[in-house]
Amino acid sequence: MSSTYGRFFQVTSWGESHGKAVGVVVDGCPAGLPLTEADIQTLLDRRKPGQNKYTTARKEGDEVQILSGTFEGKTTGTPISMVVFNQDQRSRDYSAIMDVYRPGHADYTFDAKYGFRDYRGGGRSSGRETIARVAAGAIAEKILGELGVTVRAYASRIGGIDASDTEAVQAFLDQKIAEQDSVGGIVECRITGVPAGLGDPVFEKLDANLAKAIMSIGAVKGVEIGDGFAVAEACGSENNDAFRYDEEGKICKKTNHAGGILGGMSDGSEIILRAAFKPTPSIAQPQETVNRATGENVEIQIKGRHDPIVVNRAVVVVESMAAITIVDALFANMHSNMDGILRYYR
Amino acid sequence: MSSTYGRFFQVTSWGESHGKAVGVVVDGCPAGLPLTEADIQTLLDRRKPGQNKYTTARKEGDEVQILSGTFEGKTTGTPISMVVFNQDQRSRDYSAIMDVYRPGHADYTFDAKYGFRDYRGGGRSSGRETIARVAAGAIAEKILGELGVTVRAYASRIGGIDASDTEAVQAFLDQKIAEQDSVGGIVECRITGVPAGLGDPVFEKLDANLAKAIMSIGAVKGVEIGDGFAVAEACGSENNDAFRYDEEGKICKKTNHAGGILGGMSDGSEIILRAAFKPTPSIAQPQETVNRATGENVEIQIKGRHDPIVVNRAVVVVESMAAITIVDALFANMHSNMDGILRYYR
Amino acid sequence: MSSTYGRFFQVTSWGESHGKAVGVVVDGCPAGLPLTEADIQTLLDRRKPGQNKYTTARKEGDEVQILSGTFEGKTTGTPISMVVFNQDQRSRDYSAIMDVYRPGHADYTFDAKYGFRDYRGGGRSSGRETIARVAAGAIAEKILGELGVTVRAYASRIGGIDASDTEAVQAFLDQKIAEQDSVGGIVECRITGVPAGLGDPVFEKLDANLAKAIMSIGAVKGVEIGDGFAVAEACGSENNDAFRYDEEGKICKKTNHAGGILGGMSDGSEIILRAAFKPTPSIAQPQETVNRATGENVEIQIKGRHDPIVVNRAVVVVESMAAITIVDALFANMHSNMDGILRYYR
Amino acid sequence: MSSTYGRFFQVTSWGESHGKAVGVVVDGCPAGLPLTEADIQTLLDRRKPGQNKYTTARKEGDEVQILSGTFEGKTTGTPISMVVFNQDQRSRDYSAIMDVYRPGHADYTFDAKYGFRDYRGGGRSSGRETIARVAAGAIAEKILGELGVTVRAYASRIGGIDASDTEAVQAFLDQKIAEQDSVGGIVECRITGVPAGLGDPVFEKLDANLAKAIMSIGAVKGVEIGDGFAVAEACGSENNDAFRYDEEGKICKKTNHAGGILGGMSDGSEIILRAAFKPTPSIAQPQETVNRATGENVEIQIKGRHDPIVVNRAVVVVESMAAITIVDALFANMHSNMDGILRYYR
């Protein structure tokens, strides 16, 4: 029961890296949204591997098909089923890891939970699962586009380096590739145009749902909103954002330490969040681990094509999960006060 | 629709700071758990204000009553309703803030969402709402106790200072109180005895649910698991935790950078998480804000009794939300494989 | 996990017949709805026992208190907690049934599920639990009132007799009371003013949710919509409702065999449903049963004050559950098409 | 948000009659269940049209593919995605109904809800949607088989005739076909081997969930449990089922008027339910309706191949929905008391 996200805009992900296909069902998408496969493909292409030397050299077609929920170029309000068939599987590359747990991967915990696993690769924990998230995110972004909301994510740190310093980043990555090692990084996401009042005051806080959405992406080990962990060292007099009337007589904030969310609800300013990604666990260096078949301590060297860094391909996944969460909050918000309900129905 | 947390062990919180009472309904607690009001009160007393000079001087009785769901000292499997009546309300202290939004508070976002609000205090966003969380957390901790799982949270940083250096912390807090200011901090939480395999591989990852649970606590702006944000600067060769057989032939990890969760599922080692709390937004210094009634920019000075730091009282809230989340994952896990189901029913 | 109903307008019921209180938390009620305790009490009084000789002679005050979620006579959008404290408990009447399962009651199944139970009465399965449903239903009916929707339930059959023939009904009930027996009946419910298009085409059909809501009332053994079971003997040419334009150019139906729901969605005509209630299981006649303590077959004679018929008091419960279900469907419907969403947010 | 059923064993249905495919994602199926496409196909073949002269003459391949969630012939605990591609679409048959609402169908309510619809056929309300239910039901029945639970449904009434009197049924159907008319009927379902204690005492009653599951099947207008609507005319002394110890010292009931469910929980005896199906709304006779494009009252004659009776093909759908509901209740039950939880985890 791990595979549905969202209360109103519901995304059900399925599929394994070495199965026949991966896919997603989006239920709760409103009728009348213009939507074609090209809309989805554009976003999917942003997460494709093989785009530069720092992402894996595999060629994946990843051509999405919409199997239901649209008619004459528009959504019908019924579930939208999307599928991407797996093509480049080469399962022979993975046979060595059947009984040997890869450090930093979910192999061991899968066996602990389910008793056994599809040992041919990452399975359900593979990066290919994010195809489902991005396909659903593409729909969410289309809805947001109609409402004037934009979601934009980007790598902000690669290892300890500012991602905008591309020369330093390149040098660093080249060195790590030479060392058969991998590096982590930070993805930042900014959401503009969100009306004030989205989210809820207690458990369904907008930031709580964003935290879950982002932490549910493989390799994420930390999430922060606005000033994030830096608030732990700030004083109230610095951290509080003053309210002011702007020139148009609209209430705004002088600063945005809060990252656009106060008390779990959007305050109308830009929403800012960051996610910390761990280094790709698959590295070619020898690593210590166990063989569950022989019961022995062993060494493993992970072969095959692996990204030295996951951050670049993860950007669009962060964006997608944020977009889905905002759409869900927009829908939830529609029945929060009687005035709005009466306005809708009269 | 903001007030229920959990899929199987469901916690429904209600109540405002200046209403008649705050309370909680815990649904899905198994029958046969020994439970008395004293069990709840013990944990509630840990969050009480007025315990030292750094927490507010209000005297709150906060005596919990169990209204349903127990019989002859044991839970019956039916919903457990708990209530704490509000006693020390002094609503006269709050009349000045009816139209003036307090910076860093949810006053503005409440009005934006609902059109109006109970202006007598924090209302639903008050720290008193955490009574509900802690009362429910006390039950979760009792369940975990039966299963050998322990949850322990503590302040790890006060402002920028190591919380174990109590002299430095005291000097820092005294200075900030003198400055009519407030400070943030970090709460760390460690969970031991969790069996491997809790959580799910995709959206219902154990760390994703912990992130939501913790981020849903007021004033939290960041959550991290294991090495957290530090992984962004680590290499794979450092960050991967090697597997080894221990002396008893059990699989264990040599290190625990992952904080006890791999691929969204517990790996049997200690679960470690940290939450960043912002400084208390209520400070006595004058602050810039707006008056929505007059439409003017104004200054506000927040009077009354407020903690200069929220971290100390928040420790037990973090612990409670973590405990609730682990119980939920333990229940979810029971139907994850056929062997376990057959063992249960035969 | 049995005690929350509704996806958007969420009702969490708690309490046992011989505990301290029964109550309910309504989460998801929009802000700005005028609501006082008197609004709730009016509906609660309709389910009170002791109103005539055919309902039990117990005097129950059943005075409801609203503990949260309202301010200055209006709902605030936060959870509304309502409680009724139990007064007339006389638990001595019930001691004989500690180990002897009452036929037709849930005593045996409670023990089977939970291992033990509060043996002092019906506990969670008591009719007193319906206080929670009616208190929540009162709020739902207020919301529906603002939208021009009316829900009206009434007893249509008492035993095999048309309930409008009050003389025949009285004679029948007097006879059954003399025989120390009880009788069943049928409650019919009609809902007018529902806009077309509420409900969903597949699992969340409006009639499916109404069926669950009504079947979740104790003693209900059947639910039907429109012509109900009679459709099994009808032909398509009779059962299909023809569409016509009325004089105002509005599409309407010439007949309403469908009971206002087509393909799981409301069609704009009156919604009609019926529920079959079994006879009160508590009768004074001797009945065969078992004593779980002695392991013997025994006879039981149930003493105390029991309604010979449950239908009269159940009318308002049916109405309440129907109202709650319609409110939930109204909220769900608000994000079903982009036009409506754009209209709401722009 | 209409397309997911179940809380623990979650079934997400998608697809339209004239789209590319219909399918289903089953999430929450435990790992280790033997499962092949042949297991699914066997049940799907029971709902196929074209099996005798009373069901439609269309040839549908309806070959199911499993796209995820199994490995080496067993389920892996991850979502099971199944798809059936649509082959025989002949959309030209349906063009006449683009603007003319078919009586008894969901055409009108679809337009009312979503603003427009896929007018090429029943779309989401087509009988083809039940492929998803049956494919999921096949998995549920496999789980139940491992636990000794059997679910068996059958037509009990065709029109007003006992379905076992096949000669009378044949004569009746032949007559109705000659009259270009259709007939309704009743499906009965019996579930044996269910342990006592499944279900919950309040909203999540086992009978309430069965009622929703069955009423969510298109064309069902009534659901009853045990004696069902007959209880409305029964006395308590007749309707109460006496408890007795059987020869093996096990508690059993002398009769089963309750249909195996007491107070919302299974009592260990056979669960019996019945569903009333309306006559197929598609009939070749001329019918009155409206044309929304011209705004005129018109007549419609529905061409094409339609079953004169839906009951025969619906049997396996009833069985499937019942099986899914029982599996869900079995899973929910596992965390209902501490003894069971401790037994599971120790």
**What DSSP letter does each residue of B131-142 carry, written as one string?**
HHHHHHHHHHHH
Confidence of residue A92 (pLDDT cuts 50, 70, 90): low
Cβ within 8 Å, pair D334-B336? no
- Residue owning tokens 């079934």: D11
How does pLDDT run across C9-54, given as a tens digit for each residue? 999 999 999 899 999 999 999 999 999 999 999 999 988 755 556 6
Do C222 and C275 meet the contact criterion of CB atoms below 8 Å apart? yes
The predicted-structure confidence for A277-294, as pLDDT tens digits, reads as follows 999 999 999 999 999 999
Q: Which two tokens stand for residue C8?
A: 């958007």
Q: How many whole angstroms separate alpha carbon C223 and alpha carbon C205?
A: 15
Band the pLDDT of C90: cuts 50, 70, 90. Answer: low
Q: What percent of chain D has pLDDT over 70?
A: 94
Is the model's pLDDT at C92 over the cut of 70?
A: no
Instruction: In chain A, count H helices and then E strands.
Output: 8, 18
Nearest CA in chain A to B331: A1
Is residue C283 classed as helix, strand or coil in its secondary structure? coil
Determine the pLDDT at residue C55: 59
DSSP classification of residue A86: -
pLDDT band at residue C343 under the 50/70/90 scheme: very high
Average pLDDT over residues B304-324: 92
Q: Which residue of A has its CA nearest to C194?
A: A345
pLDDT tier at B93, thresholds 50, 70, 90: low
Residues of chain A found within 8 Å of residue C201, distances taken between Cβ atoms: 78
Answer yes or no: is pLDDT of C89 > 60: no
Per-residue pLDDT for C119 more than 80? yes
Average pLDDT over residues B15-40: 96
Determine the residue of chain D that is closest to C112 in CA distance: D197
Separation of alpha carbons B130 and B126, rounded Å: 8
Q: Is B160 on the interface with D (CB under 8 A)?
A: no
From the list D78, D146, D195, which residue is nearest B201 (CB)? D78
Its pTM stands at 0.96
- Residues of chain A numbered 73-102 and touching chain C (CB < 8 Å): 75, 77-78
- pLDDT at position C95 over 80: no
Report the distance separating Cα C296 and Cα D286, nearest Å.
Answer: 66
Instruction: State the virtual CA torsion across D304, D309, D313, D316 in degrees, nearest 10.
Output: 150
Annotated binding site for NADP(+): which residue ranges of D? 47, 53
pLDDT average, residue stretch A21-32: 97
- Rounded mean pLDDT of chain D? 93
What stretches of C219-331 adopt beta strand conformation (E)? 220-225, 243-245, 251-253, 261-262, 265-266, 271-277, 287-291, 296-300
D207 in Cβ contact with D224 (< 8 Å) = no
Q: What is the pLDDT of residue A73?
A: 96
Cβ contact C22–B80 (<8 Å): no
Chain C touched by D237 (CB under 8 Å): yes
- 8 Å CB contact of C67 and B23: yes
| B196 in contact with chain D, both atoms CB, cutoff 8 A | no
DSSP letters for B161-177: EETT-HHHHHHHHHHHH
CA–CA separation, B31 and C261 (whole Å): 40
Domain range holding B89? 4-345
The pLDDT score that the predictor gives to residue D160 is 92
B36 versus A47: which is more confidently predicted? B36
Residue C27 touches chain B, beta carbons under 8 Å: yes
Distance from CA of A273 to the nearest CA of B (A): 9
Contact check, Cβ <8 Å, D342/B147: yes
Contact D287 C209 (CB under 8 A): no
Give me the residue from C28, C66, C113 closest to B77, CB to CB: C113
- Quick one: pLDDT band at residue B88, thresholds 50, 70, 90? low
Within 245-274 of B, beta carbons closer than 8 Å to A belong to: 245, 249, 251, 254, 258-259, 262-268
DSSP C234-255: -BHHHHSPPEEE-TTS-EEES-
Q: What is the pLDDT of residue C121?
A: 76
B284 vs A: CB within 8 A: no
Residues D40-86 have pLDDT tens digits of 999 999 887 555 566 555 455 789 999 999 999 999 999 999 999 99
Instruction: Give A161-190 pLDDT, tens digit per residue.
Output: 999 999 999 999 999 999 999 999 999 999
Hey, what are B64's tokens? 């919990």
Range in A316-320, C28-32, D16-20 the model is least confident about: D16-20
3-state secondary structure of D321: helix
pLDDT for D88: 62
pLDDT at D97 over 80: no
Say whether C190 sits in a helix, a strand or coil: strand
- Residue to mutate among A240, A251, A253, with most B CBs inside 10 A, is A240
Distance between CA atoms of residues B73 and C293, nearest Å? 21
- Cβ D114–A32 below 8 Å, yes or no? yes
- State which residue of chain B sits closest to A231, comparing Cα positions: B278
Nearest CB to A30; choose among C8, C201, C341? C341
Minimum-distance CB partner of C104 among D5, D241, D266: D241
- Does residue C56 carry a pLDDT above 60? no
Whether pLDDT at B34 is above 90:
yes
At residue A2 the predicted structure's pLDDT band, cuts being 50, 70 and 90, is confident
Say if C336 is an interface residue toward chain A (CB within 8 Å). yes
A308 pLDDT higher than 70: yes
Show the tokens assigned to D198.
């499944």
Is the confidence at residue B64, as pLDDT, over 70?
A: yes
Q: Is B282 annotated as a binding residue?
A: yes
| Count: domains in chain C | 1
Determine contact: D339 vs chain B, CB below 8 A. Answer: yes
In angstroms, what separates the C-alpha of C113 from chain B's closest C-alpha?
A: 9
pLDDT tier at C96, thresholds 50, 70, 90: confident
The continuous run of DSSP H or E covering B275 comes out as strand B271-277
Distance CA C133, CA B82 (A): 19
Whether the CB-CB separation of C2 and C53 falls below 8 Å is answered with no
| Concatenated DSSP letters of D98-117 | SSBPPTTSSHHHHHHHHSS-
Q: Which of C259, C255, C264 is nearest to C237 (CA)?
A: C255
Binding-site members of C are: 47, 53, 124-126, 263, 278-282, 305
Q: Which residues of A are annotated as part of the binding site for FMN?
A: 124-126, 263, 278-282, 305
B279 is in an annotated binding site: yes
Distance CA B189, CA B220 (A): 14
Tokens of B149: 């799982």
Report in angstroms the alpha-carbon separations of B142 from A67, A82, B150, B151, D104: 48, 44, 10, 11, 55
Residue D305 confidence (pLDDT): 72
Residue ranges of the binding site of A for NADP(+): 47, 53
Q: Which contiguous run of DSSP H or E holds residue C3?
A: none
Contact at CB, D146 and B338, closer than 8 angstroms: yes
- Closest CB to B340: pick one of D33, D339, D344: D344
CA distance A22 to A15: 4
Evaluate if residue D93 carries a pLDDT over 70. no
Give the separation between CA C7 and CA C331, rounded to whole angstroms: 9
- The Cα D247–Cα D75 span in angstroms is 40
pLDDT per position as a tens digit, D273-293: 999 999 999 999 999 999 999
How far apart CA D199 and CA D333 sit, in angstroms, is 7
Question: Is A59 part of the contact surface with chain C (CB cutoff 8 Å)?
Answer: no
Instruction: Verify whether the Cβ–Cβ distance A114 to D76 is below 8 Å.
Output: yes
CB C157: neighbour CB atoms within 10 A? 22
Residue B306 binned pLDDT confidence (cut-offs 50, 70, 90): confident
**Band of residue B96 on the pLDDT scale cut at 50, 70, 90:** confident
Q: What is the pLDDT of residues D208-226, one digit of tens each?
A: 999 999 999 999 999 999 9
Percent of chain A exceeding pLDDT 90 equals 84
Which of the residues D25, D205, D243 would you substitute to probe the C interface, choosing the one with the greatest number of C C-beta atoms within 10 Å?
D243
**Contact (CB, 8 A) for D309 and D280:** yes
Closest-CA distance, D75 to chain B, in angstroms, reads 9
Q: In angstroms, rounded to a whole number, what is the distance separating the alpha carbons of residues A171 and A191?
A: 31
Which token pair is C280?
């009160």
**Cβ-defined contact of C218 to D245 (cutoff 8 Å):** no
Strand partners, C288: C299
Name the band, by pLDDT with cuts 50, 70 and 90, for residue B307: confident
Measured in residues, chain C has a length of: 346
Is the distance from CB of C144 to CB of C328 less than 8 angstroms?
Answer: no
D340 SS3 class = helix
C202 in contact with D, Cβ within 8 Å = yes
| Per-residue pLDDT, D90 | 56
Each residue's pLDDT tens digit, B248-286: 999 999 999 999 999 999 999 999 999 999 999 999 999
Nearest-CA neighbor of B159 among B42, B312, B30? B312
Mutate to test the interface with B, among D338, D339, D343, D346 (most CBs of B within 10 A): D338
Q: Is A49 helix (H, G, I), strand (E, B) or coil?
A: coil
Q: Is A199 left (phi over 0), alpha (psi -120 to 50) or beta?
A: left
Tokens describing residue B226: 């294991």
**Contact B203/D at CB under 8 A:** no
C-alpha to C-alpha distances, B168 to B159, B162, B172, B274, B309, nearest whole angstrom: 11, 8, 6, 21, 15
Binary contact (C339, A32; C-beta < 8 A): yes
Token pair 């020869």 is found at D247
Residue A97 has pLDDT above 80, yes or no: no
Closest chain C residue to A202, measured at CA: C78
B156 annotated as belonging to a binding site for a ligand = no
Q: In a 3-state reduction of DSSP, which class is residue C330?
A: helix
ipTM of the complex as predicted: 0.96
The CA-to-CA distance between both ends of chain D, in Å, stands at 39
What pLDDT was estimated at residue B190?
Answer: 98
pLDDT per residue over C272-302, tens digit each?
999 999 999 999 999 999 999 999 999 999 8
pLDDT at residue D50, as a whole number:
52
* Distance in angstroms (rounded) separating the CA atoms of residues A334 and A339: 10
Q: Do C109 and D333 touch (CB under 8 A)?
A: no
Strand B161-162, strand B70-71: pairing: unpaired
For residue A186, the chain B residues in CB contact (below 8 A) are 229, 232
Please report the pLDDT score of residue A94 as a whole number: 66
Residue B50's pLDDT is what?
Answer: 52
Residue C326 Cα to chain centre, angstroms: 13
For D178, the token pair is: 């000659």
Mean pLDDT, residues A5-29 taken together: 96
Smallest CA–CA distance from A201 into chain C, residue: C78
Query: What is the reported pLDDT for D98?
Result: 86
**Is the pLDDT at A57 greater than 80, yes or no?**
no
Q: Do B69 and C14 touch (CB under 8 A)?
A: yes
- Higher-pLDDT residue of B1 and A7 is A7
Q: What is the CATH number of the domain that holds C114?
A: 3.60.150.10
Q: Find the Cα–Cα–Cα–Cα dihedral C171, C174, C180, C183, rounded to 10°.
A: 50
Lowest-pLDDT range of A43-52, A100-109, D256-265: A43-52
Q: Looking at the complex, does the CB of residue D128 fall below 8 Å from at least one CB of chain C?
A: no
Residue B56 scores a pLDDT above 60: no
User: First vs last Cα of chain C: how many Å apart?
Assistant: 39
What was the pLDDT predicted at A96? 73
Report how far residue C313's alpha carbon sits from residue C51's, in angstroms, rounded to the nearest whole number: 10
> Among A27, A67, A83, whose Cβ lies nearest the Cβ of D12?
A27
Positions at the binding site of C for NADP(+):
47, 53
